[in-house]
Amino acid sequence: MSTEPLTKPAVERKRKKNVINRLVENPLIGKVSYETYRDKVRDVYDGPQGALLATASLLSLHLAFGERLFRKRRFELTGVKKILDVGSGAGQIAKHLLKYADRDAQITCCDLSVEMLRRSRVRLKSNRPKYSAADVTRLPFADNSFDCVTCGYVLEHLPDARLGLSELARVLVPGGRLLLLTTEDSFGGAWTSRVWYCRTYSRHEILDTCRQVGLDVHRELWFSRMHKLLRAGGICLDLRKRA
């Protein structure tokens, strides 16, 4: 990777791209109180958009690419006994957890939307997971409750990533594993923001915030080589809670 400073034209192109992304990105999260915004997000996922979430994940190949992370053991589940899936949605990640985690692993699915938890329960057709409706900024679990947490596309519904990351770190045991996925401030991420009323994050911002709350980067993950080449698919991190 080149370490040469950006030339003036390159800087201008980068600035222009960021301006375009900001114009596309949904501005709601910065215009209302967090409580008002949270209610809007709950309404979106309780409604028709939430009902189509599983289908959208399938058509966008996020379901298949997400499974690859577990199938190829790029995020290792072997040996973990208590797993929390935050922002379970329609059970996209929970479905992989049921398939690839140890059979005696306890799985808890958590989501802001009670309706999404109902959809997840119907879709998963399993008695293994427990379900809990909660805000990621106030998780109803004791400190050091889980040795593994998965959190897919939740932080973009927060005005500050630290609000969620500090809670995820709190409920993890020291040395515990966290799979984190969130929407990046790319052009594709901006359109995701427009559809799902969320914000986007820069990779540097997320990495820095993780370190601040005691989460060390074990590795950055990509769905495929093509995703890495094109810098697509959002931010995907394998994290460990600092001992």
Question: Does a structural domain hold residue 52?
Answer: yes
Question: Does a structural domain hold residue 1?
Answer: no
Burial 33-72 (b: 16+ CB within 10 A, else e): eeeebbeebbebbbeeebeebbeebeeeebbebbbebbee
Question: Does a structural domain hold residue 169?
Answer: yes
| Band of residue 57 on the pLDDT scale cut at 50, 70, 90 | confident
Question: Does a structural domain hold residue 2?
Answer: no
Question: Does a structural domain hold residue 31?
Answer: yes
The pLDDT of 3-29, averaged and rounded, is: 60
| Band of residue 13 on the pLDDT scale cut at 50, 70, 90 | very low
The pLDDT of 104-111, averaged and rounded, is: 98
| Band of residue 20 on the pLDDT scale cut at 50, 70, 90 | confident
Question: Residue 119: is its pLDDT beyond 50?
Answer: yes
Question: Residue 164: is its pLDDT beyond 50?
Answer: yes
Question: Does a structural domain hold residue 3?
Answer: no
- CATH number for the domain that contains residue 135: 3.40.50.150
Domain limits for position 152: 8-241
Q: What is the pLDDT of residue 228?
A: 86
Question: Does a structural domain hold residue 37?
Answer: yes
Count of the separate structural domains present in the chain: 1
Question: Does a structural domain hold residue 93?
Answer: yes
What backbone phi and psi angles, to 5 degrees, belong to 238?
-100, 110
The pLDDT of 196-222, averaged and rounded, is: 96
